[in-house]
A = this chain, B = another copy of it.
Amino acid sequence: MSVFLKNCWYAAAFSDEVGREPIARTILDIPMVFYRKEDGTPVALLDRCSHRFAPLSIGTLVGDEIQCGYHGLRFDCSGKCTANPHNDGKALKAADIDSFHIFERYGFVWLWPGDPELADPSLLPHFHFLEDDDTWKVLKGVLYVKGNYQLVTDNLLDLTHAPYLHPGFKMPGVTPEQQLAATTTKTERDGNTVHYHRMRNGLPPNQATIDLFGFPNEPCQTRTHMHWHAPALINFDNGSKFEGQDDLEGFCFPQAHCITPETETTCHYFFAAARNLLRDEEEIDHALMDVLNIAFRTQDEPMIEAVQQRMGNTGDLDSLNPVLLKTDAAPVMARRIIRELLDAEQAEETVIAAE
């Protein structure tokens, strides 16, 4: 039985990673190759020729088809073998390879590894800030994390780690304990979505945003509404405002965090973060990206990888009996939903196999 959900959306790539030069990426333990047709449509195929198992990603595109770089077999966008140059160019039916259902929106190429009939774009989170360039300036990046993908979710759905792991996000003169005391949290399940809300009142903005945007060291209201969609897409509404401001007058920092398993113990972690303030200032782009990179790449990523090392070869934290805190409500709820969905998918597969 797979340890991964199949009938769901995963981020496969940023749109601008995929072009007329094929790229290889392993997702859910499956080697895949991604490229674009001449009309720009993205394509995802098994990155392994059926003949001698050469990676197609080191082949070449011929129109909309990909030609194996070893012996020249060609495959169309559905994985159908269209030509075998060693047989007068005739196709070889038995040589067809798997193709994968993908869909492009919000600057991402999304992958539905299960039944394409079930692939419903409306199941994607609504990342509105990735579709409105007039209001938002977007920064993005991808991390390769040597840890199970759920460890990244755990990290995001419990932001109480911030005052300990991310000193740059502290408020001036405020201890971690004061920060936690000023924060209220609510976790709700809605179908297969977890809503995790954090509100903080009466404390100044964090030091990073003071430095970036020149905010005053005065009390403000900070919100984080995190919407997790199984198994690993997070729509993240973050912002802060001073008294008398409405949300959009304040600082808005909505984010997309999309985590995609590579193997049981490694993952691809895509993030996109939008801001409404000083949108046209490149200096802010660089300074904000530095802040994100420090937090994500030098603090979260090493911590997650250290946790994975302590877990050994398994990606299943629950099997190791961790102690749970109240603040784990959201991560635990998310893990339970994944467990339910996996059980249902596997029961379904068993029924199909028995029929």
Contacts and interface: CB of A to CB of B under 8 A. Distances in A.
Interface of A: 31, 47-48, 50-55, 58, 67-72, 84-87, 89, 92, 94-95, 154, 158, 160-161, 163-165, 176-177, 180, 302-303, 306-307, 309-311, 317, 320, 322-328
Contact of A310 (B53, B71, B87, B89): B53
Given A53-B311, A92-B325, A307-B54, A164 B71 contact: yes
- Copies of the polypeptide in the assembly: 3
B70 A161 contact: yes
A196 to B, nearest CB: 14
Nearest to A183: B86
B325 A53 contact: no
A176 B176 CA distance: 68
Contacts of A68: 164
Contacts of A47: 310
Contact of A303 (B54, B92, B325): B54
A325 B54 contact: no
A317 B164 contact: no
B72 A31 contact: no
Nearest to A31: B310
A352 B213 CA distance: 65
A23 B307 CA distance: 16
A325 B88 CA distance: 12
Contacts of A303: 54, 58, 69-70
Contact of A53 (B72, B89, B161, B317): B317
Contact of A326 (B87, B163, B326): B87
A85 B176 contact: yes
Contacts of A92: 323, 325
A86 B324 CA distance: 11
* Central interface residue in A51, A70, A302, by most chain B CB within 10 Å: A70
Contact of A70 (B165, B180, B317): B165
A55 B308 CA distance: 10
* Central interface residue in A53, A68, A303, by most chain B CB within 10 Å: A53
Contacts of A309: 55
B164 A310 contact: no
Nearest to A308: B53
Contacts of A158: 71
Given A54-B307, A307-B54, A325 B71 contact: yes
Contacts of A310: 31, 47-48, 53-55
Contacts of A86: 160, 180, 325-327
A52 B327 contact: no
Contacts of A327: 71, 86
Contacts of A48: 310
Contact of A160 (B71, B154, B317): B71
A161 B325 CA distance: 57
